[in-house]
A and B are shown apart, each in its own frame.
Chain A
């Protein structure tokens, strides 16, 4: 079976590189190897670290939120490591960094699952879905000090049966001052980084969107943030997303409609004064997302359907590699990345 590498480009939905015959065989092991391997501190501590400062989510709220989990015999509570949102029947929007292990290698698709209907991670009715493809934004660089363009799309093997969340198209400036709501299963107590406390139940917290200037102030992220990122939180801290919330959505309610504006990306600690939560600006990337998923319209069938085990999908423009043999793959992906151009 040919190996198919899909790379996001602005000019084509998929740049397909089909590797066949002995070349295919020659790189199959490296591909598997890739797949397998695939400040300052605040002195004032807020009174409580809570998805931090939030409240438990009711069973029928935010049905389009999903939990990303690893595959093992452990409980979903232990396996859950990130969040995401359903943006079309079989499509999940999440953070690109969720798809990398601690060594900076991409996870394999078959080491990953997506759980729906899991307001409580111990709910026996939670459904876990197989991931067939993953698409990383080509400008995401996992090794960067500030890894912007932190978004990825996951395509599932099975229907979620969930009404998708609407993606906002509002410009960044129009988001400032809005009250965002962040939803996830992240830590509710981060006072001890060695032993954060994680809930079984999903939590939500309200945080206002602040200007990038505020977030780029010397006492905050000191100019390191990009235009395609948004910040939310309180100068005094106390309410924030936290460990385990990555990839999950930040939404606003605009004219009665819930719209996703952000993806949990990173933050210094959790809920610390001046260190706002940093989110991927979803409206900024609507063009890229729509290359794959015509949000709000009937889903199209991908041009190529490939087996999970033989597909390496998406890339970073400067992804890491651990071996010489993986460099070949990275070069192939980099080749595609060079043609990638941000649409939005």
Chain B
């Protein structure tokens, strides 16, 4: 079920203020660590839906495209809420390259995965790899090379990956941050 998130005027106004503030001080992002948490697109795994969407709406000055689904975890036949919200920010950068898309994945309204797609080639890939290596070096020492310019780190209860796009997405670098627990409960949700 696809829908646009409708935010009331008060929230939008507040978001706009945050957005203006964000634009004034920062129009670029990367994967980094804040308060002991690894963040991607300013969000950390486990963060709540409302907090992420409110901040991102203001930050990117754009409304998200959201889709609500129900999924299974483990062998259970209980259905769990799964929300996917995507932003296509303009005039925003990721590690110095134009940011094309940010997608947030929530299960039961908790953030379980963040995807970032930025326009860039080998230099951007190497920059992100260096950032990842710095963030995860203590816990994993080095990346797992998945092949075809795709690398993955695990640690801090997270999986993090970066890969160069192929085919139609050639010229893009894909970065992801995934809750390690959800990777076990729903492996498809952690896939590249």
Q: Do A and B come from one complex?
A: yes
Tell me which residues across on chain A come within 8 A of B70, comparing CB atoms: 78, 81, 187, 196, 198, 243-244
Chain A 218-253 near chain B by CB (<8 Å), digits 1 or 0? 000000000000000000000001111111000000
CB distance from A36 to the nearest CB of B (A): 12
Chain A residue with Cβ nearest B78: A246
CB distance from A68 to the nearest CB of B (A): 9
Query: Contacts A81-B70, A193-B71; is A241 near B77 (CB within 8 Å)?
Result: yes
A98 within 8 Å of B by Cβ?
yes
Tell me which residues across on chain B come within 8 A of A82, comparing CB atoms: 78-79
**CB within 8 Å: A-B pair count:** 75
- Most chain A CB within a 10 A radius of its CB, from B68, B77, B110: B77
Contact A246 B68 (CB under 8 A): no
Could you tell me which residues of chain B, from 86 to 136, have a CB within 8 Å of some CB in chain A? 107-108, 110
Tell me which residues across on chain B come within 8 A of A78, comparing CB atoms: 1, 68, 70, 81
Query: Contacts A78-B1, A102-B185, A196-B71; is A242 near B108 (CB within 8 Å)?
Result: no
Tell me which residues across on chain B come within 8 A of A264, comparing CB atoms: 77
Give the CA-CA distance A98 to B79 in the complex, in Å. 9
Task: Count contacts on A: residues with CB < 8 A to the other chain.
Answer: 32
Contact B79 A267 (CB under 8 A): no
Tell me which residues across on chain A come within 8 A of B79, comparing CB atoms: 80-82, 186-187, 198, 243-244, 246
B72 within 8 Å of A by Cβ?
yes
- Most chain A CB within a 10 A radius of its CB, from B1, B75, B186: B75
Chain A 64-86 near chain B by CB (<8 Å), digits 1 or 0? 00000010001000101110000
Tell me which residues across on chain B come within 8 A of A339, comparing CB atoms: none
Could you tell me which residues of chain B, from 1 to 36, have a CB within 8 Å of some CB in chain A? 1
CB distance from B62 to the nearest CB of A (A): 23
Contact A244 B77 (CB under 8 A): yes
Contact B71 A243 (CB under 8 A): yes
A49 within 8 Å of B by Cβ?
no
Contact B189 A268 (CB under 8 A): no
Tell me which residues across on chain A come within 8 A of B68, comparing CB atoms: 74, 78
Give the CA-CA distance A244 to B70 in the complex, in Å. 8
Query: Contacts A102-B108, A193-B72, A196-B70; is A243 near B77 (CB within 8 Å)?
Result: yes
CB distance from A43 to the nearest CB of B (A): 17
Tell me which residues across on chain A come within 8 A of B137, comparing CB atoms: none
Contact B81 A70 (CB under 8 A): yes
Query: Contacts A242-B77, A267-B77; is A102 near B107 (CB within 8 Å)?
Result: yes
| 11 CB-based A-B contacts, threshold 8 Å | A78-B1, A78-B68, A80-B79, A187-B79, A198-B79, A243-B72, A243-B77, A246-B77, A247-B78, A266-B74, A267-B75
Task: Give the A-binding residues of B (Cβ under 8 A).
Answer: 1, 68-81, 107-108, 110, 185-186, 188-189
Given A194-B69, A241-B77, 15 more contacts at CB 8 Å? A78-B68, A78-B70, A81-B79, A82-B78, A82-B79, A95-B78, A102-B108, A187-B79, A190-B72, A198-B70, A244-B79, A246-B78, A264-B77, A266-B76, A268-B75
The 10 residue pairs across chains A and B that have the minimum distance between CB atoms: A244-B79, A246-B77, A243-B72, A246-B78, A266-B75, A81-B79, A243-B79, A245-B77, A193-B188, A194-B188
Task: Give the B-binding residues of A (Cβ under 8 A).
Answer: 70, 74, 78, 80-82, 95, 97-98, 101-102, 186-187, 190, 193-196, 198, 241-247, 264-268, 270
